[in-house]
Amino acid sequence: FDKAYAMVEWVKEFEGKNSKHIAIEIWNSQEVLTGARPVGGAIMVSSHLHRLGLKPLRITSRPSYTQDWTASWYKKWMPWVLPEDIYMQQNGEHINSDFKVGTIKDHKIEIFFEDNPDDARKIVEGTKATVVFTLKTSSIFFCLANSFNFSTSSLLSPAAVLLLINA
């Protein structure tokens, strides 16, 4: 009963806000950002790229106040990712997909992995990058299977990938 009451009090904090705003606040909380597990296949792909000597940039549209949480998350799950390879906005207090688009343009990134459909659309519309939009947590395996000699037999479930390609 105490937990149910706590939930009621917590929900009251969001009164008058729309559901998207609430979801963004929850997603960008310290508890969620530091406790989230990596997307299926992300550690394996990142580790493989690291062993190949490739250092893809990590670009996030998260608010600037999440920088320390994001860095500690990478240190925990992918310690080979250096803080200078994580690009975050420096002074924005809200999610800003335009930051992601601008950084992709500035660094002339040709292929970008994205799990947010709104950001994927904006990246395709605003850059020359090919966007690999992951629809399932295991899709990253399938997408990279041919490019990096991954065995498709290592897949745990069918994968669905949508490539959004700029003409």
Model confidence pLDDT, tens digit, residues 68-91: 999 999 999 999 999 889 998 888
Residues 143 and 161: beta-carbon distance below 8 Å: yes
The angle, 0 to 180 degrees and rounded to 10, between the axes of the packed helices 97-106 and 117-126 is 40
CB of 118 closer than 8 Å to CB of 74: no
Residues making up the chain, counted from first to last: 167
| Residue of higher predicted confidence among 22 and 111 | 111
- Distance, in Å, from the CA atom of 58 to the CA atom of 37, rounded to the nearest integer, reads 16
Query: pLDDT of 46-55, one tens digit each?
Result: 899 899 998 8
Rounded to two decimals, the pTM is 0.67
Q: Which residue has the higher pLDDT, 138 or 43?
A: 43
Among 21-25, 45-49, 54-58, 135-139, the minimum mean pLDDT is found in 135-139
